[in-house]
Amino acid sequence: MSFRFRELPIAIALLAIVVFFAIQEPAFLGARNLSMLATELSITATLAMGMLLILLPGHIDLSAGSGVGLLGGIASVLVFHHQLPAPAALGLGLLCGVLIWMAMGAFIVNERMPSFIVTLGALLIFKGLFWLVIDNATVPVAPGGQSNLYSLLTTYYLPQRFGWLLAISLVAALIFTTISARKRRLKNGFAVDSKEMAFLRLFITAQAIALFVLVTGQFRGIPLPSLILGGVTMIVYAVTQHTALGRHWYAIGGNTEAAFVSGVPMKRTVIAAYSGMGAIVAITGFMQTAYAGSSTTTVGDLMELDAVAACVIGGVSLRGGRGTVLGVLLGALIIACLLNGMTLMSVPPERKFIARGVVLILAVWMDMRLSRRA
C-alpha cells in the first residue's frame, strides 16, 4: 500500500485544498480540528473501501447510505430500546449487513439485473425500513452502561505512546511484506521496481504514518475510527492485491467475457464483493451513528455519493477493473477536507450540496476522459 507516482496529481490537488482552507480559516490546521477531520475521514473512507469492492467488478451500490442508517439504527434500537449488550447488538447488525448484501448480490447476478436499478430500489427500501425501525424518532446514543461500547466507537482515543508503538509495528510489517513480495516476484521471474524506488515508497509511507501519529497526539491521541479504518484498509488491500478473489474482481471489471472464458467463478465472485460491502456498510453505520450521537432519519444521507466520489477521484474506474486502496484513501481525504473546510468557513448547506455535486460530476468526467485515452 505504498505511494505510487500515478497518485501524484491527486496528492497535489489535496495539497492545494489544504493550503486554501488553511489560509481562509487558520483553525483548519488546529489540533482539535485535525482530530475531528481524522474521524470524519475514517467514516467516509471506510465506506469508500466497500464501494471499491463493488466498483472493481464493474458494479455499483446506491443503497450504501441508506444501509448505513438502517444498520446503525438496528444496533441503536437493540441497545437503547431492548437493553441488549452493545457487543451483541453490533454483532447482529454486522450479520444483518452481510446477509442483506449477500442476498442483494445473489439477486443481481442470478437474475442478471442491473446493479444500478436494484441498489436504487434498495435505497428506497432501506430508507423506509430505517424509519420503521426507529419509529420516526430519535434514538440517542449516550455513553454509560451497556451502551458505553457503542459510544466509544467515536469518543475513544489511543494515547500517543501506544500510537508510536503501533506505528513502528506497522512500518516494520510494511517493510517485511515489501521485501517478501519482492523476493517472490524475483523468484518467479516477474519484473520488480528498483531498490531505490521501493525504498522511496516505504520512506514516504513511513513519514505519512509518523506525521499522523504526531498530529493526532497534539489533541487526545489517535481516534478509534482511524484504527478501524486502518484495519478495514489492510484487509481490503490484502484481499484485492494478494488473493485470487481480488484478481478475479479486477479480471471481471477489465473484461467480463475474457474472465468467463478463463474460468473465473463470476457469480460467486460478485456475491463475495457484495457480502464484503455489507460488512463495511454495517461498520460505517455504527461509526456514523455514534459520531452523530443519535440515530435519526438523516443518518447516512448521501454517503453513497461521497463514497463513489472518493473512489472515482482516487482513480477507480466506474467501468471496473481499475483502482487502488491508496487512491481511494486520497480521494476520501479530498472529500473530507472539502466538507470539513466548508463547515469551518460556515458555508451554507445549499452551497455544500452544490460543491459536492460539482466534485462528483468532475470526478466522473475525469474518469470518462481517462477511459477514452486508455
CATH number at residue 33: 1.10.3470
The fraction of the chain above a pLDDT of 70, given in percent, is: 95
C-alpha separations of 92 from 85, 102, 285, 355, 356 in Å: 11, 15, 13, 37, 33
Kindly state the average pLDDT of the residues 259-271.
93
Using CB atoms within 10 Å of the CB of residue 288, give its burial: 0 to 12 exposed, 13 to 18 middle, 19+ buried. buried
Q: Please, which residues bridge with residue 44 across strands?
A: none
Least confident of 42-46, 140-144, 300-304: 140-144
CB atoms within 10 A of CB 144: 7
User: Do 133 and 67 form a contact (C-beta atoms < 8 A)?
Assistant: no
Segment 6-15, tens digit of pLDDT:
566 777 888 8
- Sign, CA torsion 205/38/286/165: positive
User: Is the per-residue pLDDT at 2 higher than 50?
Assistant: no
Residues 73 and 199 in one domain: no
Residues 119 and 234 in one domain: yes
Among residues 361, 101, 49, which one has the least CA distance to residue 229? 49
pLDDT given for residue 291 in this prediction: 93
Residues 108 and 254 in one domain: yes
User: Do 54 and 265 form a contact (C-beta atoms < 8 A)?
Assistant: no
Segment 289-313, tens digit of pLDDT:
999 989 999 999 989 999 999 999 8
Residues 299 and 364 in one domain: yes
pLDDT given for residue 371 in this prediction: 62
User: Is the per-residue pLDDT at 18 higher than 60?
Assistant: yes
User: Is the per-residue pLDDT at 242 higher than 70?
Assistant: yes
Q: How many residues does the chain have?
A: 374
Residues 294 and 309 in one domain: yes
Last residue of a domain, one of 186, 201, 220: 220
Last residue of a domain, one of 220, 253, 272: 220
pLDDT given for residue 1 in this prediction: 52
Residues 183 and 275 in one domain: no
User: Do 142 and 151 form a contact (C-beta atoms < 8 A)?
Assistant: yes
Residues 9 and 137 in one domain: yes
At 95, list the grid cell: 450479520
What is the residue whose three cell numbers read 452481510? 98
| Between residues 249 and 317, the one the model is more confident about | 249
Segment 181-231, tens digit of pLDDT:
888 878 877 777 788 888 888 888 899 899 999 988 888 899 999 999 999
Residues 289 and 264 in one domain: yes
What's the chain's average pLDDT?
A: 89
User: Is the per-residue pLDDT at 143 higher than 80?
Assistant: no
Residues 143 and 174 in one domain: no
Residues 132 and 109 in one domain: yes
Segment 54-82, tens digit of pLDDT:
999 999 999 999 999 999 999 999 998 88
Domains in the chain, number: 2
Supply the range of the domain harboring residue 201. 160-220
Q: What is the pTM of this model?
A: 0.91
Last residue of a domain, one of 202, 220, 238: 220
Kindly state the average pLDDT of the residues 231-259.
93
pLDDT band at 145 (very low <50, low <70, confident <90, very high): low
Report the C-alpha gap between 185 and 261 in whole angstroms. Answer: 26
Report the C-alpha gap between 89 and 152 in whole angstroms. Answer: 14
Helices (H), the chain: 8-24, 31-55, 64-80, 86-110, 115-133, 148-152, 160-187, 195-217, 224-242, 244-254, 256-261, 266-292, 303-313, 325-344, 349-373
Residues 302 and 363 in one domain: yes
Residues 255 and 136 in one domain: yes
pLDDT given for residue 4 in this prediction: 53
